[in-house]
Amino acid sequence: MERILAINPGATSTKFAVFDGEKQLMKNTLEHQGADLMNFDRVCDQYLYRLDLILAELTAAAIPLETLNAVVARGGLLKSVAGGTYAVNELMVEDLKKAERGEHASNLGPVIANTLAKQLGIPAYIVDPVSVDEMEPVARLSGLPDLPRISLSHALNSKAVARSVVSQMGKKYDEVNFVVAHLGTGFSVSPHKNGRMIDVNNAQEEGPFSPDRCGGVPSRQLAKLCYSGKYTEKQMLDKISGSGGMFAYIGTKDARQAEAAAAAGDMQANLVLDAMAYQVAKQIGAMAAVLAGKVDRIILTGGIAHSERIVKAISNRVEFIAPVVVVPGEEELESLAAGALRVLRGEEKAQTYQ
């Protein structure tokens, strides 16, 4: 039986699980307080800190490291790649340490996996990293040649959820058209046409605003703000991704807190939640147009798909397009393990990142 350690580093947590084949032996979420991560200048500097915490939990769960056959992690902001499972290599680790496509917690995944796998002499993989790019040429133009559109999304969960919905329909992924909205800390809304994600809003800088990102904002005003002298480049980038969106308006990234505040009469929290759902619905409409209106299902997934209020607000606006299926949360660890398993069992060949 293949024993696999799956790791999913997030902005404020590290989720990991150990699987024997398909069977999950343990699953854990390590929460990181702001103060724990404050001492690290860059995201990739956190890899040993997070790895040590995982190792301590594996020891506590009496899972000897020597019993692991592979490590698999959520991939980061790499160069654009096709979907699938990739062997972690040094070029991938170097690219993520340089973070040329930006800082994001998922950049830590391959670095942590590589460090541990090298120590144990076992393979390390990533599956459907955030830089999966299946966009059609027409989707790549932004309107400014200097600023090509880039595919950075929740490809791992969006594709896994699409596959699971399609199997419930008794069809194949390449026989259907879906719009999948992943609503987590970042939001990505993607049209899936016959098994390919042919467009997506870059979850770091486009589309609807999300709990900590501003999404697409008025471009002239943004340019003026950048040159206003009020903010450094780092501060501006943080406004766009990290402390923008819902957080910038009401000081929380937690949709549950926002809902509780709205329920207690906070009008601003109420408006911000309505606006977030409104923008998601607008983005779903745009992606339905990408599919020429031929949409078999709209899928809402991610942590915020647990929210009845937000799901209802979005569904009311988009269910004229296609039936809405809600798959709350994410199955990223399971999808990572399944991707590694396909390679270990010889059902799929690991691709090479270059």
Ligand X SMILES: CCCC(=O)OP(=O)(O)O
Ligand Y SMILES: Nc1ncnc2c1ncn2[C@@H]1O[C@H](COP(=O)(O)OP(=O)(O)O)[C@@H](O)[C@H]1O
**Rounded least distance, CB 227 to ligand Y, Å:** 32
Q: Which residue is nearest to ligand X (CB)?
A: 186
Task: Choose the binding region for ligand X from 40-48, 148-156, 159-167, 344-352 (rule: CB under 6 A).
Answer: 148-156
Alpha carbon distance 306, 301 (integer Å): 8
**Rounded least distance, CB 200 to ligand Y, Å:** 15
**Number of residues lying near ligand X (CB under 6 A):** 12
Nearest by Cα to 334 from 13, 113, 122, 23: 23
Task: Indicate which of ligand X, ligand Y, none lies near residue 149 (CB less than 5 to 8 Å, by partner kind).
Answer: none
Contacting positions for ligand Y (CB under 6 A)? 10, 184-185, 211, 253-256, 302-304, 306-307, 330
Is 130 a binding residue for ligand X by CB under 6 A? The answer is yes
Task: Indicate which of ligand Y, ligand X, none lies near residue 256 (CB less than 5 to 8 Å, by partner kind).
Answer: ligand Y
CB closer to ligand X out of 32 and 154: 154
Contacts of 126 (CB under 8 A, 6+ apart): 72, 73, 74, 75, 85, 86, 88, 92, 109, 110, 113, 336
Taking CB under 6 A as the criterion, which residues in 179-198 touch ligand X? 184-186
- Are 337 and 17 contacting, i.e. CB atoms less than 8 angstroms apart? yes
Taking CB under 6 A as the criterion, which residues in 73-92 touch ligand X? none
Alpha carbon distance 217, 192 (integer Å): 25
CB closer to ligand X out of 195 and 245: 245
Helices marked H in the chain: 34-37, 47-60, 90-98, 108-120, 155-168, 219-226, 233-240, 245-250, 255-263, 267-290, 308-318, 332-344
Is 101 a binding residue for ligand X by CB under 6 A? The answer is no
**Rounded least distance, CB 153 to ligand X, Å:** 5
The angle subtended at Cα 30 by Cα 11 and Cα 128, nearest 5°, is 55
Which residue in the set 4, 18, 152, 176 belongs to the binding site for ligand X (CB under 6 A)?
152
Nearest by Cα to 210 from 7, 11, 39, 9: 11
CB closer to ligand Y out of 179 and 343: 179
Which residue in the set 3, 7, 9, 10 belongs to the binding site for ligand X (CB under 6 A)?
10
Q: Which residue is nearest to ligand Y (CB)?
A: 303
Contacts of 254 (CB under 8 A, 6+ apart): 211
Is 104 a binding residue for ligand X by CB under 6 A? The answer is yes
Residues in contact with ligand X by the rule CB under 6 A: 10-11, 104, 130, 152-154, 184-186, 203-204
